[in-house]
A and B are shown apart, each in its own frame.
Chain A
Amino acid sequence: MTAPPDVAGAVLVAGAQILVVGVGGPLLLGLMRKTRSRLEGRVGPPVRQPLLDVRKLFAKQRIRPQCGSWLFAAGPIVLISTSVMVAGTAPLLTTRPALGQSTDFFGVVFVLLLGSVFLALAALDTGTPFGGMGASRATTIGALAEPALLVAVLAFSIPAHTSNLPALVRDGLSNPQVIASPGRILALAAFVVVVLAESGRLPVDNPSTHLELTMIHEAMVLEHSGPDLALVTVGESMRLALLLGLLVNLSVPWGIATASGMASLVVGAVALAAKVVLAGIAIATFEVFTAKLRLFRLPELLAGAFVLALLGVVTALVAR
């Protein structure tokens, strides 16, 4: 395979994807909050509130906790870098993203993991009890979610004979029966649970909690302020949008651009936005009717996801 000579095109596609995810992520967060508020009978903040928050935060002073070192400062930077990196190269708007031939599903998982690890290290670097608590809980959940995620990735990859992400999406477009195959559905179910866990949504973590002792993700980023917090907010919301985008493109790939060109890219963006919005509203609705699980009940949920994914692998092997 030769490298695509069309560098300008690749940069354009990557830029478009990063822009869509970067702006769409905070908006998605706002939309989910709005949905929850409305369903709970409140008016709620406007959908664009997270973007306004980010703008406000960027103008604020940076504050460093007393014993924060370069690792504390690196946390938000690495988080946003990993989110942007994946946003640029994952098959979100088009099945031929920049560097698409080397966008591996395993690779994406580990690049996102890099961001989580640095966020946890930044939390431990603050030397406060809440930093340690958040980091401990988040890495534990991450460790238990990872098997489910990787086995689900394997289940996705077996029918397509590759773990290349754009190829997986293309495979779904050309053989729709793959999507409805039992192995794929089981793996998708596992993937949904992992997405909820990784992006800190209910029933794993309550994103709107204000009590330090129940926080997981929020406890980790408690010490970040001003522009650093803005970077964390954008990075986290991009990650949620990314994971949902991958989820919808793997389960309903239709609408994604298969050819190059502006028009199909715009169509792809609209299709992606529509699908992700629907998925976001679904999750927000689910959250209204769910309570947070006890921390020590989480392994059961994640083990359940793991079993689903493993069944997915076995089914895919049998159906082969």
Chain B
Amino acid sequence: MDIRAQVSMVFHLDKCIGCHTCSVACKNVWTDRPGAEYMWWNNVETKPGTGFPTLWEDQSHYKGGWELKGRDGNKKLELKSQNKIDSFVKLFYNPNQPGLEDYYEPWTYNYANLFEAEAGDDQPTAIPVSLITGEPMNIEAGPNWDDDLSGSTFYAENDINLEELSDEEREQLFEIERISMMYLPRICNHCANPSCVASCPSGALYKRGEDGIVLINQDVCRGWRACISACPYKKIYYNWKTGKSEKCILCYPKLETGQIPNCFQSCVGRIRYLGVLLYDADRAAESMKVPDKALVESQRTAFCDPFDPEIIKMAKANGISDEFIKAAQLSPIYKYVMKWKIALPLHIEYRTMPMLFYVPPLLPVMGKMANGIYTNALDNFFTSLDKSRLPMKYLARLFSAGNEDIIEYVMKKLMAVRYYKRTLDMQDIDLVMMNKMMREGGTTPEEAEEIYRLTAVPTIDQRFVIPEIQREESIESTCNPEICKGSCGIGVIQPPTRGL
């Protein structure tokens, strides 16, 4: 076993309010500069929807992630975007990379016209102009174009995760009976089997040893952009000004000083959790070599119990500090992913072993229309799973590579917690019914209480368990800590040079 520590994440989608504060908190700090205008290291998508860049989930087009090849006993993972020969050919030609039309043309307005227009008998206005060309432009796309089901029959209907729904089910989704939406905030998944790292011809991408953050060394990147194609989540962006690629850095300068990454700290809905997961690096790629529907459970076999003395021993042998092990034991991620099994990876069928997990949302119950009169199809007190507005099939496509049993297990547990809390406070739910819900959700009163507390009333320290970094150890590799102590500590500064 090769035990590694990863700073991992959970997004509780039931709590997401779609405010995009995370996107703005990230944008303002990291990508508010020329060449990065169109980059949204953090974005929030409305689902059903086509996302950003448009239809990024369509790997038949973008060819991101890994493909499972080979026969039983000799299964192997190959990059979908390139094979060994390809990687040379495609150095200069990247047909699967999204273009400006898949992102959007950034714009501003000629505000000055409001003040400088010549006197006339009508009010002046500030028209949109391109931030790239400076010319007037027609705005036809943006980084959040289908927010809140805007253009729903044009965009949402083309969400590829709806593929397996029957025509009738698809149609209903855009009628009063079933219309629904949820929000999907996305940052880099900081995968444990990252296809972007594997694809880089320059070796500029790497997964950091101490916390698993995936980074691009700006000094090494030569702007080949293979990573952009290889990342199935389209979370690497090319900076046209510097000629290098950039991506989410999980605010590592903040993490290293015990601070919370921007998008996490600013999360208004309090949906985000951050903590350490221990995993077996030997199992990372291996666990991704099973059929789609087995992937979620297979991924879990790569995660390690931070309380197991054997694991702790091996972790220490691998140089993982006591602080990281303690953080792994207190980790909210471990609870959501391994203990309660209610947080799931996004599109694990891309087989990159994403290390960001989502608790799927509970959505309202569907309704019936008869002669223009609406009735909710509700049999239970709370919303129900079999009559939920978004079909389980759809959620399974997003979060369990199509395995509906896994989604159902999660949803039943979430519902059981609500029934449990209701009964505790109000005693107005039939006990037989309550016990049935608890049984089906595979939970106990103790667990339900624990889930409730971490979901609804956690403190900031419970949501974000950031491992303490031993600065002296990282300094040691380059200079004597005693000498370093007396210097200003800015480190090595090299101006980036254009890659090509």
Does A associate with B in a complex? no
